[in-house]
Amino acid sequence: MSPEIGLADILAVQEAELAARQARLAASRASVTRMVAERAEHRAHHGERLQGMDAIHNRLELMGRAATTEVLSSQPGIQRPEDLAASRPADAAALGRGITMRTLYQDTTRNQPHITAYAHWLLSQGSEVRTAPTIPQRMVVVDRTQALVPIDPADTRQGALHVTEPGILAALLDFFEQAWNTAVPLGAARPEDPRTSITTTEREILRLLGTGLTDDAVGQRLGTSSRTVGRHMSSLMERLGASSRFEAGIKAAHRGWL
């Protein structure tokens, strides 16, 4: 068998495995989205949907007061200073009672002074904070028995749903734990992978673009701009000696970057 045929076979197997993993993840996300949408419909008819940031902050305060063991939080994108200020009293009260608190932010927030300041305050109070290139949708889960999730992940200020159904909670917790286990504690650097000379952000960009997402969509997932995504890809193409993104994907897979 020629080396070219052998390489093609290896790439085909890797692509099939990647496609299968992506399909499973997409199915899980679709399941959660469907369950949340059904819950939204139910809440809409029963007047339990929370509308606006004041209602959300009030419910978060109540959930914080009711917490007895832990609070898990996933906070993608950039939070506003006023929202962080509104969260501090409830967070301080919960941590003061010995509640375990774990918070996920995106890597891009490491460049946001007001968020890093708040995150370091959480750390000083005994909380754990980690970051990752991409994290689950915005959520707050208290004692693994209740959660608050946005009605519309694209516009979290519209309102939220208070979730207590075990099936939805199990899916949200699974997403959170998967992201937490691969995230990096705040304060730790994200060095290049010594085996590949590629950063986790670059690897995630390659993976997301490989699923067919546009630069804009990838930027939204990573909490950055499409221009930044383009700069990363230009750097990757140059290092790979690729003249197109398609060729870059093939070479990246050959090097084990995907």
Lowest mean per-residue pLDDT among 30-39, 114-123, 147-156, 184-193: 30-39
pLDDT at 158 over 90: no
pLDDT tens profile 11-40: 566 666 666 665 666 566 556 555 555 554
pLDDT band at 8 (very low <50, low <70, confident <90, very high): low
Domains of the chain listed by start with CATH number? 25-185 (3.30.870.10), 192-258 (1.10.10.10)
How many C-beta neighbours within 10 Å does residue 39 have?
20
DSSP string across 126-192: T-EEEEESS-PSSEEEETTTEEEEESSTT-TTSEEEEE--HHHHHHHHHHHHHHHHH-EETTS--PP
User: Which of 68-72, 106-110, 197-201 is most confident?
Assistant: 68-72
Tell me which residue has tokens 């546009």: 214
**Sign of the Cα pseudo-torsion (216, 218, 220, 222, in order):** negative
pLDDT band at 219 (very low <50, low <70, confident <90, very high): confident
Q: 226-240 and 245-254 helices cross at what angle (nearest 10)?
A: 60
Average pLDDT over the chain reads 78
CA 234 remoteness from chain centre: 24
This prediction has a pTM of: 0.61
98 SS3 class: coil
pLDDT tens profile 42-51: 544 333 788 8
Residue 73 has what pLDDT?
93
pLDDT at 102 over 70: yes
101 SS3 class: strand
pLDDT at 151 over 90: no
pLDDT at 94 over 80: yes
Please state, in angstroms and rounded to a whole number, the distance separating the CA atoms of residues 80 and 118.
11
